[in-house]
Amino acid sequence: MEKALAVPRLPPHDPGTPALSVVDMHTGGEPLRIVLAGCPEVAGPTLLAKRRYMRQHLDHLRRRLMFEPRGHRDMYGAVLVPSELPEAHLGVLFLHNEGYSSMCGHAVLALGRFALDFGLVPAPPAGVREARVNIHCPCGLVAAFVECEGGRSCGRVRFHSVPAFALATDLLVDVPGHGKMAVDIAYGGAFYAFVSAERLGLDICSAKTRDLVDAASAVTEAVKAQFQISHPESEDLSFLYGTIVTDGKDTYSEEPTTNICVFADEQVDRSPTGSGVTARIALQYHKGLLELNQTRAFKSSTTGSVFTGKAVREAKCGDFKAVIVEVSGQAHYTGTASFIVEDDDPLKNGFLLK
């Protein structure tokens, strides 16, 4: 029996539904499930059109990959698609428990490694210790730089963001259960609200994750109800992705500053949140608390994992003064899997516990 089981093969399944093959990774504890095979063609002339098509026609695949029993409510995914940009090595659609995000920094760090190791980009010449991977995200083109040796990834990955900017500072919002408070809103490929844990009556380092999630979700819903989010260049990007609760230590320090990101349907990021770090650095630069090329460390309150980031140059996004932000972290492989569907399975497209 042991010899028979040693031969990898799929169990009986619906032959009309291809198996979904994936590579699983994590960056700072935050998972990423990359679809290798089995996803139908995602139609559309642009990446944003492909994002709309997948939401309208292929959302059952998102649920199948992200939800139980194959995933969990905090699973995160990536579907690789062709890009219309000639300089892009690949395009990507990001999946989560509620839908499709516009940017994901932890995923970009992982995809940089994946693209090099799986041959989606050519290996750099001998002696060159870093490979560039141009990743077309829904928010725009993001450049990842992958440490490598002998044509394979090793060590850390960094990326340069799309233009990041502060949308609103000290915005007064009435948060049910917490009263009126000032919040900041900034963009790092996605829009986030920022508030210190102290304003919510919590300690970012000792509070239970459930209490932080409840408070962050209350802020998100309050901002959505009381403030109109608008991106200067695309309506597809004009939405609040979530709330990042911080330790309030925005003034520059060599010590890490801690935060937790709660996004989508109360999904908790285990990493310091790459696009959140991007937005937070843009906010600190806007407030004069950070200079160009001044590196800060950002720590996840859930896992203790750390990303570093810095504003590398000034830019523009519409009429907003913006910065290009570099974020650095380390991604790891965790395994591969193939998922099948039995046609008579009532839970074949997944479920989430509330």
Any idea which residues carry the catalytic annotation? 104
Residue 113 CA to residue 14 CA, distance in Å, equals 33
Q: What is the DSSP letter of 54?
A: H
Can you tell me whether residue 224 is helix, strand or coil?
A: helix
**Strand pairing partners for 95?**
77, 100
Q: What is the DSSP letter of 287?
A: T
The one-letter amino acid at 83: S
Residue 11 CA to residue 58 CA, distance in Å, equals 24
Q: How far apart, in Å, do the first and last CA atoms of the chain sit? A: 41
Structure tokens at 181: 């408070």
> Are the C-beta atoms of residues 305 and 272 closer than 8 Å to each other?
yes
Angle between helices 274-286 and 105-117 (to 10 degrees): 130
> Are the C-beta atoms of residues 333 and 23 closer than 8 Å to each other?
yes
> Are the C-beta atoms of residues 199 and 181 closer than 8 Å to each other?
yes
**Strand pairing partners for 269?**
none
Residue 188 CA to residue 196 CA, distance in Å, equals 18
